[in-house]
Homo-oligomer: A and B are copies of this chain.
């Protein structure tokens, strides 16, 4: 069997407003443009589709043996500390052949915080 392309899931909270997902689609487009070898999908905790289990099941069915999940949350609270570990435990029990790597939330990454601070410092007057 051919080695499948690496896969990344941009995982967001979700919202009632369909336009809420626009930044996620833009990040996806930027990533795909720069890394054609990377498969990038979106997934949501609630209010939007697909769910994380559905997105991972689809990628696994396409032969992806390693999937990275990037929680695009500005900070980590109950959703990431309590909900997400349970969701991932259930997915790992279901998808035994798939290795899942969880990235830290945006707000846990010093590089990202520095970039946000640099942007804010450049626009505030």
B-contacting residues of A (Cβ < 8 Å)?
6, 8, 10, 12-13, 15-17, 19-24, 26-27, 30-31, 34-35, 38, 66, 68, 70, 72-78, 81, 101, 103, 106-117, 119-121, 123-125
- Residues A120 and B77 in contact in the complex (CB < 8 Å), given A22-B107, A115-B112, A125-B68: no
Contact: A125 with B78, CB < 8 Å?
Answer: no
Q: How many monomers of this chain does the complex have?
A: 2
Residues of B with C-beta under 8 A to A12: 74-75
Contact: B119 with A111, CB < 8 Å?
Answer: yes
Contact: B120 with A70, CB < 8 Å?
Answer: yes
- Residues A77 and B17 in contact in the complex (CB < 8 Å), given A31-B121, A120-B8, A124-B8: yes
